Structure 1
Amino acid sequence: MRKYGVILLFAMVANVIIAQSPSLLVEAENFSKKGGWVVDQQFMDLMGSPYLMAHGMGMPVADAEISVEFPSTGKYDVYVRTFNWTSPWYEGEGPGKFQLRLNGEKVGSVLGCTGNEWYWQKAGKVDIRKKENVITLQDLTGFNGRVDAIYFTQDNISPPNELTTLGHFRKQMLDIPEEPQQAGEFDLVVVGGGVAGTTAAISAARLGLKVALIQDRPVLGGNNSSEVRVHLGGRIKVEPYPALGDVVKEIGPSRGGNAQPADYYEDEKKMQMVLAEENISLFTNYRAFAVKTEGSSITEVYARHIETSEELSFTAPLFADCTGDGTIGFLAGADYAMGRESRDEFGEPTAPETPDKMTMGSSVQWYSAEEKQPVDFPVFQYGVEFNDENVKQVTMGEWTWETGMNYDQINEFERIRDYGLLVVYSNWSWLKNFSAEKEKYNNRKLDWVAYVAGKRESRRLLGDHILREQDLTDFVIYPDASAPTTWTIDLHYPDPKNTEHFPENEFLSIAVHKPIHPYPIPYRCLYSRNIDNLFMAGRNISVTHVALGTIRVMRTTGIMGEVVGMAASVAAKNNTNPRGVYNNHLNELKKLMEKGVGKYDVEDMQNYNLGGSLGPKITTIDIPPYDKD
């Protein structure tokens, strides 16, 4: 059984392989000693690779280091693929400065402060006099300098920048096989290890399926992990299926709160719950990047390790897209929606008159800590002007620090996350250095800033039913009623006061709530309408933008995952697909939802962040019989 942390076929140094003399490619994420640099994989679909980032919140981080063997001695030109991340807002030199060193000696000039896109920058020349050498990345500022890769060549030709060509170049230089290695055959492959993916995997495994769970970070939980720090929301133990939520109860943290210390989110609890299931093979740090299809079905999913570059192939008759972004569905050609539908399209009163691309945004949360002595913070002014009129006089920022509503949450996501970092640093710099109230902040230190952004909305994969506002408000109960949603219709918009100061560059949001009764989501929202063997659970299920406002909180998405795991077991038992469960085996699924898949007798700690006023509690719902079994 493959388990967490043991699925590595390449050692770190082994990935720095010379495929063609006299050149050497070193991937930054392959560094054996990362020091204080972090691996950021969130944008590898956009710029081609994970990268190392110096996330020091204004304090330089410890050096990253790797020992490499050059193909031969002699003089080499050095290129570094990097990016000045503040360039969308500021034309001058950026703050993400770092120095490349070879055997302790500086190589060329300071990097990371120029360039308005990811590209290969000429770093200088080196004279290699021995084959074994040590490469070091020295952070100079602590302000998110980033490095994709380093290339040494005697040909004085930089590598390609076009992503497809660059991908082939990487494989050639690192001697990565063109075809991924088989990870094994499974009954169900779940992609995405957030709350929904974790509960889907656990539920299916407990019902006897052999499950692969693929997660592109080292921890599980997604937005409810210590990396993002959003607490669970919504309710469990709700009619007509009060057993739904048993798995959420088992893995959920006992304490609530956004932007709290890391231990609040109990990453280890989620991990141990998954590792305890013998039917789950867990693949952490693997990001799915491609799918293979035959007709209207997925046959394989390909995933790449975010540090070693190893590629694996996963085969199964059933797949579940719990990525949040609908990545697997998108790659397979699934129908999807993104942005806001018009009022006429579904007749939703809350929808805008005309459709647009606006989405709810992503949050970069943060907090500060009070120290016993004064703490300095560098002046940080990179294109967004703060002053005493528009600065936020706060010591932390949670969900309301939300960016990117008017940008593409897929294709412009790095810009969205970076703007979140930019405004946190800029606001804090003003408070510390220029504010009329700066004495209040004299002893405060910026203690934690998320670099993994908490995303609310992007693609929504379309199923045989698209949940809409009237289903919820008119309480339309369908025969395939399943996972209950108990949150208000909670939609976010740019804060009008923030718009006054930062028009079209808002970073604060407001929430507008519309109460509903607890509502059972139709099962048909949990599978694709045109990819025959694809389930989905999480914020990427089949809903309109308005309906997304209620189903996106994580106790609700976790319950969806439980239903998907149950439906997958029904499909496997009856040799059918997700739609076949609806057409022919719905009563079998209902029986499982009535029983639940809880395994441990744990105290119910799910009594925080339950939601606002939702109307009268629903005690019975008449769901008519639908199928033969």
Structure 2
Amino acid sequence: SEVRVWAKGNIRRGKYPRIGEIIEEFADKAKKSPGTYEEFGDAKKEAIVRAEDNIDLYLNHHAHKVEANDKRITAVHAFDVRTSARTRFTGTLFADCTGHGTIGFLAGADYDMTAKGRMGMSNMWAWAEEDKARKFPKTPWALDLEMKDFPYPRAHHGQWFWEGGFDKDALGDAEGIRDWNLRAVFGAFNAMKNRDGAAKHRNAFLTWVAYVGGPRESRRLYGDVLLTEEDVVSKKDFPDGCVPSTWSIDLHYPKEQYAKKYPDNPFISKAVHGRGVDRSYGYP
């Protein structure tokens, strides 16, 4: 529930329909994006994982060091961000689920990273209204915005397209990208409360802002197979394929309408969906 991206892809599709049962067990029940904390059921997800006898769960750990022998990873070191305690994990197989290819990178794996024009990081937010007026402090540190500078957060939600960092360093400047996004959110709400939107938002107040950013493009590790758009569109059959996907190929770009105020660092995006993807049947 930190980022609140909902489980929106279709499941029980394609060649491996029963894989969807794993997702169904702990998928969120969000009705909007972003959903509420309760809809994401963090406690339920954690309980399901901890109930598995063959899983030891270490939350809030960051991998920072890798041991390898003959180009094979033998151990990963991680530290607990809450206590600074360090743990060494040994094994024969390691899945790099860091989102940044960190473990593979530390092990010396080949990788690529787009220099500019990447999809960015999103910090979603939500607001509400009540029967009495609510004050909101002025935010001189936030982006200088008026109502025309951003899309109105309809249904009381600032959705996925509150996204920035397209040409920034997704790794080295991750915190800076997150902070810029937060400045955009608070600048927008300041416009709603204290500037040209004030008359219509006297009773409005913030209910949630994602302080953890949801990144997208980062390092891409090279493997034995490089999946291409043509592979996806043509449904190329891989003999060891096991996971279907039902999402189209979509790329995010700054939305021109809202990039005029800060052209060097836009904070609102648009999605361009590729054609030819079978979202009903899925692809491997």
Instruction: Specify every segment of 5 or more residues in structure 2 that has no aligned partner in the other structure, as ranges.
Output: none
The answer to whether the aligner puts 1:419 opposite 2:194 as a matched pair is no
Q: Aligned partners of 1:388, 1:286: CA distance in 2, in Å?
A: 40
Q: Is the 8 A contact 1:337 1:459 kept in 2?
A: yes
Deviation of 1:491 (Å): 0.9
**Residue 252 of structure 1: aligned partner:** 27
**Residue 384 of structure 1: aligned partner:** 143
**Residue 485 of structure 1: aligned partner:** 245
Output one character per residue of 1:400-447: Cα deviation in whole Å (capped at 9) or x when no partner.
100101111111100000001101111111221111x31211011111
Q: Aligned partners of 2:122, 2:150: CA distance in 1, in Å?
A: 18
**Residue 6 of structure 2: aligned partner:** 231
Q: 1:432 aligns with which of 189, 193, 203?
A: 193
**Residue 330 of structure 1: aligned partner:** 105
**Residue 42 of structure 2: aligned partner:** 267
Q: Which has the larger radius of gyration?
A: 1
**Greater length-normalized contact order (CA 8 Å, ≥ 6 residues apart):** 2
Alignment partner of 1:320: what SS?
Answer: coil
Output one character per residue of 1:516-552: Cα deviation in whole Å (capped at 9) or x when no partner.
344xxxxxxxxxxxxxxxxxxxxxxxxxxxxxxxxxx
Q: Is the 8 A contact 2:150 2:268 kept in 1?
A: no
Deviation of 1:392 (Å): 4.1
Residues 284, 617 of structure 1: CA spacing in aligned structure 2 closer, same or farther, 3 A cutoff?
closer
Q: Is the 8 A contact 2:118 2:217 kept in 1?
A: yes
**Residue 452 of structure 1: aligned partner:** 212
The answer to whether the aligner puts 1:243 opposite 2:18 as a matched pair is yes
Instruction: Specify every segment of 5 or more residues in structure 1 that has no aligned partner in the other structure, as ranges.
Output: 1-225, 340-355, 519-613, 622-629
User: Which amino acid in structure 1 is aligned with residue 134 of structure 2?
Assistant: V
Q: Is the 8 A contact 1:517 1:617 kept in 2?
A: no
Q: Is the 8 A contact 1:368 1:444 kept in 2?
A: yes
Alignment of 1:499-538 (within 5 A): 499-518=259-278
Q: 2:118 aligns with which of 359, 367, 373?
A: 359
TM-score by length of 2: 0.93
Q: Is the 8 A contact 1:393 1:431 kept in 2?
A: no
Q: % of aligned pairs identical? A: 40
Q: Is the 8 A contact 1:391 1:431 kept in 2?
A: no
User: Which amino acid in structure 2 is aligned with residue 337 of structure 1?
Assistant: D
Alignment partner of 1:243: what SS?
Answer: helix
Q: Aligned partners of 1:266, 1:505: CA distance in 2, in Å?
A: 34
TM-score by length of 1: 0.43
Q: Aligned partners of 2:281, 2:55: CA distance in 1, in Å?
A: 36
Residues 333, 238 of structure 1: CA spacing in aligned structure 2 closer, same or farther, 3 A cutoff?
same
Deviation of 1:378 (Å): 1.2
**Residue 292 of structure 1: aligned partner:** 67
Alignment partner of 1:319: what SS?
Answer: coil
Deviation of 1:388 (Å): 4.4
Alignment partner of 1:291: what SS?
Answer: strand
Structure having the higher strand fraction is: 1
Residues 322, 618 of structure 1: CA spacing in aligned structure 2 closer, same or farther, 3 A cutoff?
closer
Q: Aligned partners of 2:268, 2:108: CA distance in 1, in Å?
A: 34
Q: Is the 8 A contact 1:234 1:487 kept in 2?
A: yes
Q: Aligned partners of 1:365, 1:383: CA distance in 2, in Å?
A: 16
Q: Is the 8 A contact 1:289 1:303 kept in 2?
A: yes
Give 4+ residue runs of structure 1 displaced > 6 Å after superposition.
Answer: none
Alignment partner of 2:128: what SS?
Answer: strand
Q: 2:129 aligns with which of 356, 367, 370?
A: 370
| CA RMSD between the two structures | 1.9
Alignment length (residue pairs): 282
The answer to whether the aligner puts 1:402 opposite 2:177 as a matched pair is no
